[in-house]
Structure 1
């Protein structure tokens, strides 16, 4: 690195030996080979820039961790090194740190999982590799992105890997609501048969999401066997951490082919910096010359960290030979930009990595999907303008195992497991909800009822086939739910109340039936007679009766008004008489006072109808007066408690606790009820004054004993009835979605109607409520009387008009006749007068007298 060296110190012409540095690596691993080449490059670059020689002595572990302590002592005692670099694992680092602390020699560790107390115990320990604990949050973010609820974790059974699982991965998964289904620890030296055995166990379970946190050699063996067992096929999810992804560039073809579709979290270094690019260009040539057998010559994270570690020590030694303590102090305050990024220590620890690259193993290499940063989430790039999201769905499309582009749901029906064992309570008081019957012929149980039928219908709406077997359980409901936690049952189906205390043992689906606690008490009658006289008829019936009555009165008034002078007068007087006629005919027969046959006909029909109406009204009113009105003997739960009366409760234990702890009943006044018949008998005999039943039990009870008991007071709500599954079960989201389909399809409504129809009232008393009479019962009579009156009125109008016309014609003929007679006599008189005036006669003659006559 002749250009752009790591420090701007002045170049000296005289060669100076700065100091001696020891390194402990494992030549048998790719990491050890990259570290060796990178450290040698750093020594050369430092000399080319400063003309100061740094002696580097490398000790080989030969793949044996126990050699770390011997190598450290050899470097200190025989080679007089001033600082030791490496090794990689925490187990080896702790051994070397112990030796370095004894001789006051600084130890620069490459382990990325040192516990927080390490630098306090070994003051000469410096962590030169950034902690990658935050990568566990990145892994959890991937799990959250796709909605996976449970994961299997496979880790190497050594402290360095176990320390990352607890608490970092566990806490990260807890934050997103995910659970670790199985935690599998694999020893570093494991036989293939053990691999197969452990993977077979995981394959037999439902969970299909695997998080792998092991060393690279162990990962190679693991994925080879997983592929042979067909666990790298469609439906599986594999997520690996930096201990594997940091070497993905060096994988051979058999290894990379066994990991197709794997997602990985990889430490990220600022690859756009000039120092990184110069290092990246020169490294492959030097690495290829020294290790030509390696397929890939690209540098990994270990090479970058080793290169920067040499420069860290070289810069701390720049001013010549110094004491060990002084060297430690100088190492702690080193601050420069290395090829891996900013090199600055805080409390002897390099700043933790907070940016990780998300990769996807595809083909002969891997694809960079995007980035995850602590605090901002996922992004397609690290540009300030790039959008961020808590979900990795904004990144490039991922290729999953089996070559599928469809995101796996994270679980599946076990390939070798038995059908689900589902517990069903056989002690339910809600008989219609759970019915468990023993068949003596087949020597098996038959399971039915509303809750069971809803579950069967729900399973039909799942996108896959779910096999299961019901098993009867005779204990309490709390004990039944606890069986899920103890893994004796895979689920519980029945009228299981969703209670907060039961969440400690299981998770629940959404309720398939709302529920609550209802107070059932005996009934008694109480009179309320103020307006009872109006009840025999409906409002419409009263209105129609009054209308027909007034209409008939109008018809009679019209027909009879010409016969009575009292039917005439002022308009106000006429209205009063009309109304009197309307209602008088309803209560008395006045046919002898009526002059017209038409009015008699209308009155007769109306009296016939009125007789039927009054008799019907009287009968219905009598029935209402004799039937008792139902009222509860106890108004509410407070009245029952204050009276110190006994109260019953269903067999479900939480009801008793609710009565005592929440409603504050005296425990001595609380009675257990084993079935509905016992409840009814206790209420009738007065042994208990009321019963607090859950809503379904109350529904059945009131359907069966519909005449003697009723519900009163408020309903005390709780979570409803759901199905219980193990904590974090991946089945729950699918069951919830299928339940919604059952609700929306109307199947739940049909089952609920079937549930209600299954119970019939066993009490034979007549109905407590008498129905008011409506016009529909008398429509023919109303048409008969209304039609009769209308016909009478029409005949009267027509007849009156005819009489008027005839009378007018007769008068006209008389007047014409009179006019004709008058005209005749007038004309005759005129002719006679003219004749007499022309004849002369003596005064005394007889003719004169005759003319006068």
Structure 2
């Protein structure tokens, strides 16, 4: 196939309808009495598009004749490969013909100026709508998260006034932007190498190509020669190139490997299209044997539909010009290219585009993009849509990498980044700029510098840079990026909305927020329940339980020996409770409930100077351990309570900003920061009551001597300040949410996303936290160690004592129970023995009585009573 002719969208394709068969003074009716008129067209006969359009129009008029037996004559003027000449031809024809009788004129040229449509309402725009196509391009850019693109276009007014604004707006909607525009002359190829060399030195690697196929062919040939069709490059072509990808020769396809293309879609289905397709391929092969591919594309389908529209309107209007124009405006049918309908003198735009990927000897159809829906693998009622192109599968990128190009790279020039650093930072721990004695060498240290260096180590590429000091406010420092004096800013720079007009920021590397720092004062510890604080609640409960248990054991052991522990049930319960809990007071009271007499015997009750001694050794053992535990507990309680009463409790002098404002107090903040505006506009402080300071020492001095009542600091700076002045100051009030510290880069910088990703890796690995801890630790406290609040004591502190006391009482209780059981058993045995003895004695007595009775009876019968008595 010969190289395709000049840019198709600059070709003027005009239909002229006349009531006569004259054009340029000639008549050609071919002997047909049913000739309705002549259709004139200006095309480039040498271009692929011109060839397809000319054949398609001829076929449309032939089909119209076969259906309605009415013919139209097609007269074609050759633009001879000169799109500018074609445009001039169109203008002259519109002025000459259209102005006479409102004859409708179709233009397939994207070069049709806006003023032409306004001046000539009979001029109909039949070209593809560029707006939807640019939306498709922007959707591709959004899918792969590219942020900047370079647009290469042909140097004509039409692209600058229609295509470029559409593309710019579409990219802005998805968070991207055009980094630069490269205009190429339509016929000049000498500047290609120069322009491509300049692009290669830049950072952007995503190129949108909006050129004619002939110029695009030269562009990609040169790009391949300059190794710009390799890894990390992205090329996206628009409809003028992509719609002809099926007709490209092998050399052109080889030069375009890996490009993505947006192609106008039309349904290649239905019996009508299949018949057209068969006939078109046969005739195109016959008329243009020089072409390798004979498939029709969108341009042929649109040309066929346009010719059919005109012919049908002429038939229905009887060639009356005003009625003819009206019939064209009301066209509504489904043609080869889709639905044919005009709104505001323009053909209804296509809403579906095909996404193709050039690879191998041809191209692969990845899927579709539909306006208002997104990407899908097919077009039908059940199609699944997604906003990301990633659902269409793997893309073959230039150079053949499996990973997705990031869309940018470092500039090939060796110039390192110029990074601005605040030379007069308030907190040297964050940024410290030091000059040597000759002021020839400058050292940059601090937490912010360390974090930035750690971030660069996480980048997958080497990034050269130079630190440069800056003396001025932080707002002025960030503004230097917009002025292109600095390429970035590193330091304790707060991320605030007002600075986004100059630069963009990375993810914050510190905690965000503003806090109020105030001096502390002593507070009286006069709390109603302070007496309970020496012990925890668990300690109080366990103490009560063990005392009640010990009291119960003593009561049980001594109740039979002590009359005071007897009586009614109510009296015994009262004595039990009294005995249990009075033991704690017995170690310090003047009148002991349990005391030791002169004979070293324990006395239970000594309220009136009289006592009852403990009679059981078990009771004495239990009491000794109990008194020891009670002594330790009471002494510990007394000491802890005394400590709590005498320790100094500190609190903030001011607890909220309303107190500061109502008292008209003076407050302070860092010099050069954004806080001055924030304190006035957001927190509504009187600007006359605000002072700025340039060092931590100045803050501390002003707060101590009462020069200011409070200082407002960023949270990370406040933490550092309180680490250095660990007593005497504290945070007060809420934390006001603002951005933390971040690194600043130019708006739209391709470095920003990589730096942010690397910074997150530093944070997630724990290295950021380690650097921050090292900074806080290095800030040695200049005050004495603060008094810590005395903690409440828990049962863990007395666990051994409680086990000793409880265990002793338990042992005594068990011994007592065993003794009682044995005594009861012994009494039962003795009773059984006595009962046995008494039973035996009773039987003997009864036998003796019976014997005596028998003898007496015998004696009455005997005369010798004296002998009987002797026997007895």
Q: Which range, TM-score by smaller chain?
A: 0.7 to 0.9
Q: State the TM-score, normalized to the length of structure 1.
A: 0.81
Q: Is the 8 A contact 1:568 1:574 kept in 2?
A: yes
Answer yes or no: is 1:226 the counterpart of 2:217.
Answer: no
1:232, CA displacement in angstroms?
1.4
CA distance in 1 between counterparts of 2:433 and 2:381 reads 68
Answer yes or no: is 1:471 the counterpart of 2:467.
Answer: yes
* Cα deviation 1:148-191 (Å, max 9, x = unaligned): 33222111221122223332111111222222222222232444
The 5 A counterparts of 1:383-782 are 383-395=380-392, 397-404=394-401, 406-414=403-411, 422-425=419-422, 427-429=424-426, 434-436=430-432, 438=434, 440=436, 443-449=441-447, 464-465=460-461, 467=463, 469=465, 471=467, 473-474=469-470, 475-524=472-521, 525-586=523-584, 587=586, 588=592, 590-592=595-597, 593=603, 594-596=613-615, 599-651=619-671, 653-731=673-751, 745=765, 750=770, 753-754=773-774, 756-782=776-802
1:542, CA displacement in angstroms?
2.6
1:249, CA displacement in angstroms?
3.2
The 5 A counterparts of 1:147-296 are 147-192=145-190, 194-272=191-269, 276-284=273-281, 286-288=283-285, 291-296=288-293
Aligned residues: 815
CA distance in 1 between counterparts of 2:701 and 2:278 reads 93
Q: Is the 8 A contact 1:370 1:396 kept in 2?
A: no
CA RMSD, aligned part only? 4.7
* Cα deviation 1:781-820 (Å, max 9, x = unaligned): 4445455555666666667778888999999999999999
* Cα deviation 1:30-51 (Å, max 9, x = unaligned): 3444455555666777777757
Quickly say closer, same or farther: Cα 1:43–1:606, change in 2 above 3 A: closer
1:8 counterpart residue number: none
Q: Is the 8 A contact 1:447 1:470 kept in 2?
A: no
Q: Is the 8 A contact 2:726 2:785 kept in 1?
A: no
CA distance in 2 between counterparts of 1:344 and 1:32 reads 23
Quickly say closer, same or farther: Cα 1:116–1:371, change in 2 above 3 A: farther
Q: Is the 8 A contact 2:418 2:468 kept in 1?
A: no
CA distance in 2 between counterparts of 1:35 and 1:829 reads 159
Q: Is the 8 A contact 1:16 1:52 kept in 2?
A: yes
Q: Residue 136 of structure 1: which of 134, 153, 156 is its match?
A: 134
* Cα deviation 1:358-400 (Å, max 9, x = unaligned): 2222333333333333233334444344444433444465432
1:636, CA displacement in angstroms?
0.8
Q: Residue 82 of structure 2: which of 46, 54, 63 is its match?
A: 63
CA distance in 1 between counterparts of 2:729 and 2:645 reads 21
Quickly say closer, same or farther: Cα 1:288–1:12, change in 2 above 3 A: closer
CA distance in 2 between counterparts of 1:459 and 1:827 reads 124
Quickly say closer, same or farther: Cα 1:371–1:613, change in 2 above 3 A: closer
* Cα deviation 1:697-735 (Å, max 9, x = unaligned): 222223333332222222212244444443344555555
Q: Is the 8 A contact 1:113 1:131 kept in 2?
A: no
Quickly say closer, same or farther: Cα 1:53–1:599, change in 2 above 3 A: closer
CA distance in 1 between counterparts of 2:361 and 2:871 reads 164
* Cα deviation 1:259-303 (Å, max 9, x = unaligned): 012121222344335554444444455555554444434444444
Q: Is the 8 A contact 1:195 1:225 kept in 2?
A: yes
Quickly say closer, same or farther: Cα 1:429–1:807, change in 2 above 3 A: farther
Quickly say closer, same or farther: Cα 1:171–1:417, change in 2 above 3 A: farther
Q: Is the 8 A contact 1:380 1:396 kept in 2?
A: no
1:528, CA displacement in angstroms?
2.4
* Cα deviation 1:400-441 (Å, max 9, x = unaligned): 222345443433455556565555545554555x34354859
Answer yes or no: is 1:30 the counterpart of 2:48.
Answer: yes
Quickly say closer, same or farther: Cα 1:541–1:439, change in 2 above 3 A: farther
1:357 counterpart residue number: 354
Quickly say closer, same or farther: Cα 1:749–1:830, change in 2 above 3 A: farther
Quickly say closer, same or farther: Cα 1:102–1:554, change in 2 above 3 A: closer
CA distance in 1 between counterparts of 2:329 and 2:75 reads 21
1:517, CA displacement in angstroms?
1.6
Q: Is the 8 A contact 2:317 2:323 kept in 1?
A: no
Q: Is the 8 A contact 2:200 2:228 kept in 1?
A: yes
Q: Is the 8 A contact 1:136 1:168 kept in 2?
A: yes
Quickly say closer, same or farther: Cα 1:303–1:590, change in 2 above 3 A: closer
* Cα deviation 1:308-357 (Å, max 9, x = unaligned): 55666666777999898887777666777665455554444333333333
CA distance in 1 between counterparts of 2:530 and 2:823 reads 52
1:12, CA displacement in angstroms?
12
CA distance in 1 between counterparts of 2:552 and 2:775 reads 57
Quickly say closer, same or farther: Cα 1:135–1:816, change in 2 above 3 A: closer
Q: Which moved more, 1:826-835 or 1:250-259?
A: 826-835
CA distance in 2 between counterparts of 1:162 and 1:189 reads 18
Q: Is the 8 A contact 1:270 1:340 kept in 2?
A: yes
Q: Is the 8 A contact 1:424 1:492 kept in 2?
A: yes
Quickly say closer, same or farther: Cα 1:685–1:351, change in 2 above 3 A: same
1:665, CA displacement in angstroms?
0.8
Quickly say closer, same or farther: Cα 1:99–1:195, change in 2 above 3 A: farther
Quickly say closer, same or farther: Cα 1:63–1:536, change in 2 above 3 A: same
Q: Residue 372 of structure 2: which of 360, 375, 385 is its match?
A: 375
Q: Which moved more, 1:258-267 or 1:131-140?
A: 131-140
The 5 A counterparts of 1:339-358 are 340-341=337-338, 345-358=342-355
Q: Which moved more, 1:785-794 or 1:171-180?
A: 785-794
Unaligned runs of 5+ in 1: 1-10, 69-86
Q: State the TM-score, normalized to the length of structure 2.
A: 0.79
Q: Is the 8 A contact 1:26 1:62 kept in 2?
A: yes
CA distance in 2 between counterparts of 1:765 and 1:279 reads 94
Quickly say closer, same or farther: Cα 1:535–1:104, change in 2 above 3 A: same
* Cα deviation 1:513-552 (Å, max 9, x = unaligned): 4422212222221342312222222223333333343344
Unaligned runs of 5+ in 2: 1-28, 587-591, 598-602, 604-612
1:574, CA displacement in angstroms?
2.1
CA distance in 2 between counterparts of 1:850 and 1:17 reads 190
Q: Is the 8 A contact 1:31 1:302 kept in 2?
A: yes
SS in 1 for 2:235: strand
2:17 counterpart residue number: none
